[in-house]
Chains A and B, each alone.
Chain A
Amino acid sequence: MKHYSFFPGCSQLSSAREYGVSAVEVAEALELHLEPLKDWNCCGASSAHMTNHFLSVSLPGRDLALAKEKDRDLVVICASCYNNLRSAQNQILTDSTLAGRVKHIVGKDIRFEGKIVTLLDLIMEEVGLEELRRRVKQPLEGLKPVSYYGCLMSRPRGMMDNDDPDNPTFMDDLLSTIGAEVKPWSYKADCCGGSLSLTRTDIVVTLVNRLFRAAEEAGANCIVTACPMCLANLEMRQGEGKFAFPQEYDLPVFFFTELLGLALGLEKAEEWFSRHLIDPRPLLARSGLSRSIE
């Protein structure tokens, strides 16, 4: 068992709890132990860096100080948290004036020099596709996903080190390895509208419908993502709503960790699927992948 520090991120406590839970359980099954940072705080998401640069380094700065105390590589599953933590780390390690100011505010040593990695990258590096294939108990035949990475995971400002920011392939490779028939499409790193969800719902609805249309045209029967904001927008914003909750496309959206858990035969996988606004259970039942009945 290898041990890592883990940054859960706010969404994983509520709207995307199934992401946090499935990530930890899948990692554990792959002998990667994720230990949450004690008393971590919000990374500032979009709002901090959009309005106050100093705050946008100081908030993740405190989290980096907590990671520094533990002195282990830090695993992050939310695309936005990942981007913010990496960006703050990069600024702290390269700009000593800024680092000095942030250190003074946080009151701790913020120079965390360990690696900050996404769970996707970690699985690719530490487990690898061959080993993963060996561990599959239930190949995901019948699932035809398109990979939807979440823009902030595929292109942290100038710090992309593994995958191609415009055409990432890690998730495609991983999903193919666990038996899914991954469909190619050209929208894998297109933005869902992010934090405009509440303020300019019209824009997000336009982008989200374009994604669903493209996924259907690609012949997909589900979308798989690594970002809680993407999943929320895809599930919530097919229409502008009000009293009704419109859902034109019946295309379930999964976190990649949920499908990994299903393929690895994890008992609890069934519990995660009941929390989705677009119920994926009928698709899983049709594909012979679930005990739950349509």
Chain B
Amino acid sequence: MISKLDPGLEREIEDRSGQKARLCYQCGKCSTGCLFNFAMDILPHKAIKLVQYGQKERLLASETIWLCAACETCTARCPNDIDVARVIDSLREIALEEGIKTADKNIPLFHKCFIGNIQATGRISEPILMGSYKTLSGDLFSDIGLAVEMLRKGKIKLIPSVVKSHRELRRIFKETKK
């Protein structure tokens, strides 16, 4: 499948991430070392090739950009010093900004809930994060056994710890909002 060519993609990635995809010579080390390669629809070295080829639509609609957990194994091993994980970050960012229908629904939702939690209290509170994500994803019961166990061991703090400087926090979110 070849999607419409976007000749500006490589440049856009460079502007956002400072990474030069054109330096990639397809050695494949990033894909070989990737812990998530078994679940990806486009392997990391191919994703970099597709950046060179301006295959924007295809990349933004891929599952790969959401499955990357940013462990940075690829980044640490790239012989051309391309921060591959950072390139993937930029692709995710573009997908969200352009309102692309993402291949995975839940992972972007999780990030949204996570950021929402920071915006509300300044620090992550497991009950708020898990509560909002579980409710909005409709995946209410898959971790019930775990939640019980965590409560029993005192691993869930019910009262959130809150940052006092609301104004500073609000300003950060207002100014960085896309």
Residues of A within 8 A of B (CB): 10-11, 13-15, 17, 39-42, 44-55, 58-59, 62, 83, 104-107, 151-152, 155-158, 160, 165-166, 189-191, 193-196, 198-201, 203, 206-207, 236, 240-245, 274-277
Contacts and interface: CB of A to CB of B under 8 A. Distances in A.
B72 A41 contact: no
Contacts of B81: 158
Contacts of A44: 115, 118
A58 B115 CA distance: 13
Q: Main SS of chain B's interface residues?
A: helix
B107 A245 contact: no
Contact of A240 (B123, B142, B148, B171): B142
A105 B171 contact: yes
Contact of B176 (A58, A152, A241): A58
B64 interface: no
A59 B118 contact: yes
Sorted nearest first, the 10 A-B pairs with minimum C-beta distance are: A191-B71, A14-B157, A47-B114, A10-B124, A47-B111, A194-B69, A151-B71, A245-B145, A55-B176, A155-B76
Nearest to A204: B69
A29 B72 CA distance: 34
B161 interface: yes
Contacts of B109: 199
Given A52-B178, A62-B168, 6 more contacts: A42-B124, A50-B111, A53-B89, A198-B134, A245-B146, A245-B149
B110 A47 contact: yes
A49 B107 CA distance: 14
B62 to A, nearest CB: 15
B83 A157 contact: yes
Interface stretch (B20-28, B51-59, B125-133): B125-133
B168 A107 contact: yes
Contact of A152 (B71, B122, B143, B161): B71
Nearest to B163: A41
B36 A39 contact: no
B73 A14 contact: no
Contacts of A13: 123, 157, 161
B144 A105 contact: no
Contact of A105 (B108, B150, B175): B175
B75 to A, nearest CB: 6
A39 B122 CA distance: 9
Interface centre among B75, B130, B153 (most CB of A within 10 A): B153
A241 B72 contact: no
B89 A194 contact: no
Given A198-B133, A203-B39, A277-B150, A241 B143 contact: yes
Contacts of B96: 51-52
Nearest to B143: A241
Contacts of B141: 242-243
Contacts of A199: 104, 106-107, 109-110, 137
A73 B73 CA distance: 27
Contacts of B171: 105-107
A41 B123 CA distance: 6
B67 A196 contact: yes
B156 A39 contact: no
